[in-house]
């Protein structure tokens, strides 16, 4: 593969997509390649710190989208931002359309079945104070999900798809919709709507 093709995919992958062409379907072969990207990417001690659910059911995707009402419209003034930096009550919010893609990848917390990472945390020789087992697992989970979502983002871009991420959602509602536990990241993957700006 030519370097320019890879560089183009990298550049494209940084742009989030907010509207989608739902008349098209992602072929199974492409979906399998994307699944491979999130299941075969590196993690500490090659342990599984997350799970992924792939949602293709349009009804479920739209219900999940409804749980993402948290993107705020504010102007950074005292009218919309409190002195402690939080958004004030009553500021307009909207749902995140990046989740309305052709397919939605839902990353969930998981804890490794083996104890290789916890052994490293308990006997950490590289710092004077161990962070503790739970803190180490959480840190490695965040790193692992970051790597996996990055792999998925770039893989989707190389396959000529667009992506969008969302981490602002009602976890409890998503758990009920998908019969799952501890969602931490949503990533929409699909075909962009060529009739509209991706920012719309």
pLDDT of residue 93: 78
Q: What share of the chain is helix, strand, coil (3-state, %, to 5)?
A: 40, 20, 40
C-alpha pair distances (Å), 107 with each of 11, 35, 97, 111, 171? 24, 12, 18, 13, 12
What's this model's pTM, rounded to 2 decimal places? 0.84
**Per-residue model confidence as pLDDT tens digits over 115-153:** 665 555 555 545 545 557 778 888 899 999 999 999 999
* 51-86 burial: b if 16+ Cβ within 10 Å, else e: bbeebeeeebbebbbebbeeeeeeeeeeeebeeeee
Structure-block tokens of residue 75: 């102007």
Lowest mean pLDDT among 39-43, 81-85, 187-191: 81-85
**Per-residue model confidence as pLDDT tens digits over 54-103:** 999 999 999 999 999 877 766 666 667 777 766 666 667 789 999 999 99
């Amino acid at each position: 593969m030519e370097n320019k093709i890879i560089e183009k995919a990298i550049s494209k992958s940084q742009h989030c997509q907010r509207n989608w062409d739902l008349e098209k379907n992602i072929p199974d072969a492409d979906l399998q390649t994307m699944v491979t990207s999130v299941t075969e990417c590196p993690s500490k001690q090659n342990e599984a710190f997350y799970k992924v659910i792939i949602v293709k059911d349009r009804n479920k995707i739209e219900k999940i989208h409804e749980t993402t009402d948290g993107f705020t419209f504010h102007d950074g003034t005292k009218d919309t931002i409190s002195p402690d930096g939080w958004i004030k009550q009553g500021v307009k919010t909207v749902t995140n359309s990046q989740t309305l893609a052709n397919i939605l990848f839902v990353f969930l917390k998981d804890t490794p079945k083996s104890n290789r990472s916890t052994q490293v945390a308990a006997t950490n020789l590289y710092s004077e104070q161990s962070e503790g087992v739970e803190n180490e697992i959480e840190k490695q989970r965040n790193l692992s999900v970051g790597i996996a979502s990055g792999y998925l983002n770039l893989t989707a871009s190389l396959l000529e798809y667009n992506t969008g991420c969302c981490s602002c959602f009602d976890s409890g509602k998503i758990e009920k919709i998908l019969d799952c536990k501890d969602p931490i990241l949503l990533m929409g993957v699909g075909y962009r709507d060529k009739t509209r700006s991706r920012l719309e």
